[in-house]
Amino acid sequence: MASQNRDPAAASIVAARKGAEPSGGAARGSVGKRLQQELMTLMMSGDKGISAFPESDNLFKWVGTIHGAAGTNPTLIVL
């Protein structure tokens, strides 16, 4: 009976969102490992003009900043 009370449109949106994120354990593990390596490379590079970090604990959503020439505003990038 509970399935009769669900909005089919809402259920399809949830399914689409789940499909957009990596769900396979092996793929997610290897991608996560690669993203952690990229984060460490960025942190150790010492380049003060570029920064990028995962948003909260989600390695699949990043916020980055690229500083341009003196007197310009930095560019904020959300990936």
User: 64: Cβ–Cβ under 8 A, 6 or more apart, which residues?
Assistant: 50, 51, 52, 53, 76, 77, 78, 79
Total structural domains within the chain: 1
User: What is the per-residue pLDDT across 9-55, written as a single tens digit (0 to 9) for each?
Assistant: 555 454 445 545 544 455 578 898 998 998 888 888 877 888 888 88
* DSSP-derived 3-state class of residue 78: strand
Q: What is the pLDDT of residue 34?
A: 92
Instruction: Residue 63: give the domain boundaries.
Output: 2-78
Q: The sheet that has 75-78: what strands, in order across it?
A: 50-55, 58-66, 75-78
